[in-house]
Amino acid sequence: MAEAHPLVRVGKVPFGKGLFARRAIAKGESIGQVTGRVIHDPDYTSSYCIDLGSEMSLEPRAPFRYLNHCCEPNSQLFSFDCEYEDGTAAPPEIHVEAIADIPEGAELTIDYAWGADGAIKCLCGAAACRGWVVCPEELPTVLKRNGKKSPKAPALPSAARRTGERGRK
């Protein structure tokens, strides 16, 4: 059985699973490294994959597999370039860092910031919800395509992270 992560735990949310703080986490604190299987296939998609660039994706393992989207996130993914011992480029490391103070028991969330081609309706329920899981710069494209002038924030809890055929993070 996998060892428990010291800062986070997986728990239930209305749409599946989410990630929750075991203790208060301060803004700027490193929460952990996202590990998993690196896939070298430009067409690879799954429910949780993270685009690493250079036609690579990361299929994350628990617990960070369960980071859900929110338009007002409290965490962010950071990428660090890596090299193999021979100096050639290795897949980047992905880490999670708090971008706001996170109280004990709160769900950790990130902004998926998908492209307009992968946008889906957002159910995060944040006060500043864009109404779509999409990067802010591409929101006008999504709204125009859907005949809307402004996003309407639904009052539902955050949806489980889904990428796959809807796009990559």
Same domain, yes or no: 105 and 120: no
Same domain, yes or no: 95 and 119: no
Q: What is the dihedral of CA 15, 19, 22, 28, to 10 degrees?
A: -140
Residue 53, pLDDT score: 82
Q: Find, among 1, 63, 2, the residue nearest to 33 by Cα.
A: 63
Same domain, yes or no: 78 and 147: no
In this structure, what token pair is assigned to residue 158? 């955050």
Burial class (CB in 10 A: 0-12, 13-18, 19+), 144: exposed
What's the domain range around 133? 115-160
Residue by residue, DSSP assigns 74-85 as SEEEEEEEEE-T
Same domain, yes or no: 126 and 106: no
Same domain, yes or no: 89 and 40: yes
Q: Give me the helices (H) in the chain, please.
A: 139-145
In this structure, what token pair is assigned to residue 8? 């986070």
Residue 15, pLDDT score: 85
- Read off the DSSP letter of residue 157: P
Same domain, yes or no: 152 and 86: no
- Which single residue is written with the structure tokens 């880490």? 95
Q: How far apart are CA 53 and CA 158, in angstroms?
A: 26
Number of domains in the chain: 2
Residue 90, pLDDT score: 85
Residue 2, pLDDT score: 55
Contact predicate 21/7, CB 8 Å: yes
In this structure, what token pair is assigned to residue 1? 């059985």
Residue 153, pLDDT score: 41
**Mean pLDDT of each 10-residue bin along the chain, 169 residues long:** 82 94 97 94 85 88 95 95 90 94 98 90 94 94 82 39 34
Same domain, yes or no: 59 and 19: yes
Contact predicate 34/94, CB 8 Å: yes
Q: What are phi and psi of 140, to 5 degrees?
A: -55, -35
Same domain, yes or no: 26 and 79: yes
| Residue 166 in domain | no
| Residue 136 in domain | yes
Residue 49, pLDDT score: 87
| Residue 168 in domain | no
Same domain, yes or no: 71 and 126: no
Q: How far apart are CA 62 and CA 132, in angstroms?
A: 26
Same domain, yes or no: 97 and 155: no
